[in-house]
């Protein structure tokens, strides 16, 4: 895993690390190392969506942060090669990669004294404006390295933020990780998004990956001036789609300009604004994913007025 330093960006159509030309023994060693790393991790959850811009990275980051706030040991892997958002959302944009004893050290993000282990292609770019112009097989090689060569250590959760669609990145994750626990699918409520998100459900079925549930994000906005509700992207579509396709529905999150602002300010919303109605609602969703009913933002219930 080397730092990209080729001027503006890198165009690679070449052979990935997992080329058939490699020694069979080396391949086997790779596989063993990957399995060993993954065996130390409790639950591995893929956050995906058929549609871009639905808040998938925001969900992945805040899911990781909330689980850490609950006291879990958490890793967060960003496999969005062309548009890595995780470093920016956590204010880690200037971090770079270090190695120790042949392993790549994850970048640490601390919440409430708990370290989240973070890895992203963003840490390998000399300039955040650089474009990673890689074709699929090279991306598969990079994702394999992220899983195999990073010293994740013992974790309760590994949250994997995938780019939109049903292409190389989520496919690579599914093929590389034995015992992936399931996928959280994020959507917005309008039909145009749902067309794509239904494809994500089909993708999971085809690859026999359990769907942990659907989150309907950007579901209505309360006008900060008059308090009236505005259905910017319609509402209820994600819940209906989950019902139609027979997968669990995890909950709705309203549009909240504060979430956008917290992202731009590089401060994860759930850590900096845990008492808001939006945070309460997200916290319940995390509880459903984690399979428990305790809440980081306790005491404020049944306030989901949007």
Give the strand pairing for 98-100 and 103-105.
Answer: antiparallel
- Smallest separation (angstroms) from its own copies to the CB of 71: 28
* 256 Cβ contact partners less than 8 Å away, ≥ 6 residues apart: 221, 276, 278
Contact flag: residue 54 with its own copies (CB under 8 A): yes
Residue number with CB closer to its own copies (67 or 86):
86
Q: Which of 28, 32, 60, 31 is nearest to 47 (CA)?
A: 60
Q: Which of 270, 274, 272, 281 is nearest to 303 (CA)?
A: 281
Contact string 177-206 vs its own copies (x = CB under 8 A): -----------x-xxxx-xx-xxxxxx-xx
Contact string 70-109 vs its own copies (x = CB under 8 A): -----------xxx-x--xx--------------------
- Smallest separation (angstroms) from its own copies to the CB of 193: 8
- Smallest separation (angstroms) from its own copies to the CB of 32: 23
Binding residue (CB under 8 A) for its own copies from 22, 98, 135, 303: 135
Q: Which of 179, 184, 217 is nearest to 34 (CA)?
A: 179
Contact flag: residue 136 with its own copies (CB under 8 A): yes
Cβ atoms of 219 and 253 within 8 Å: the answer is yes
- Smallest separation (angstroms) from its own copies to the CB of 31: 18
Residue number with CB closer to its own copies (31 or 199):
199
Residue number with CB closer to its own copies (75 or 87):
87
Q: Give the integer Cα–Cα distance in Å for 208 and 151.
A: 28
* 67 Cβ contact partners less than 8 Å away, ≥ 6 residues apart: 74, 156, 157, 159, 286, 290
Segment interacting with its own copies, rule: CB under 8 A, options 28-36, 63-71, 252-260, 287-295: 252-260
Residue number with CB closer to its own copies (221 or 290):
221
Binding residues (CB under 8 A) for its own copies: these are 8-9, 11, 50-54, 57, 81-83, 85, 88-89, 128-137, 139-140, 163-168, 171, 188, 190-193, 195-196, 198-203, 205-207, 221, 223-226, 228, 230-234, 255, 257, 260-261, 263-264
């Amino acid at each position: 895993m080397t730092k990209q330093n080729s001027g503006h960006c890198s165009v690679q159509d070449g052979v990935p690390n997992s080329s058939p030309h490699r020694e069979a023994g080396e391949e086997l060693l790779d596989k063993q190392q990957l399995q060993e790393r993954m065996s130390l991790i409790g639950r591995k959850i893929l956050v995906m969506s058929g549609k871009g811009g639905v808040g998938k990275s925001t969900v992945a980051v805040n899911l990781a942060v909330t689980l850490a706030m609950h006291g879990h040991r958490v890793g967060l892997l960003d496999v969005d090669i062309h548009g890595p958002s995780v470093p920016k959302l956590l204010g880690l944009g200037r971090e770079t990669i270090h190695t120790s004893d042949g392993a790549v050290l994850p970048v640490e993000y601390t919440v409430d004294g708990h370290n989240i282990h973070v890895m992203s292609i963003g840490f390998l770019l000399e300039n955040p404006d650089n474009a990673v112009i890689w074709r699929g097989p090279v991306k598969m090689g990079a994702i394999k390295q992220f899983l195999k060569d990073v010293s994740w250590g013992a974790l309760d959760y590994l949250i994997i933020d995938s780019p939109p669609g049903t292409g190389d990145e989520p496919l690579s994750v599914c093929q590389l990780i034995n015992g992936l626990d399931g996928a959280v699918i994020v959507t917005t409520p309008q039909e145009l998004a749902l067309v794509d998100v239904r494809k994500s459900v089909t993708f999971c079925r085809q690859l026999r990956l359990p769907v942990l549930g659907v989150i309907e994000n950007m579901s209505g906005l309360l006008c900060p001036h008059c308090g009236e509700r505005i259905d910017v992207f319609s509402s209820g579509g994600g819940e209906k789609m989950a019902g139609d396709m027979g997968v669990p529905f995890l909950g709705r999150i309203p549009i909240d300009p504060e979430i956008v602002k917290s992202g731009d300010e590089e401060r994860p919303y759930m850590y900096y604004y845990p008492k808001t109605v939006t945070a309460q609602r997200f916290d319940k969703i995390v509880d459903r994913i984690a399979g428990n009913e305790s809440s980081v933002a306790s005491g404020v219930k049944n306030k989901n007025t949007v």
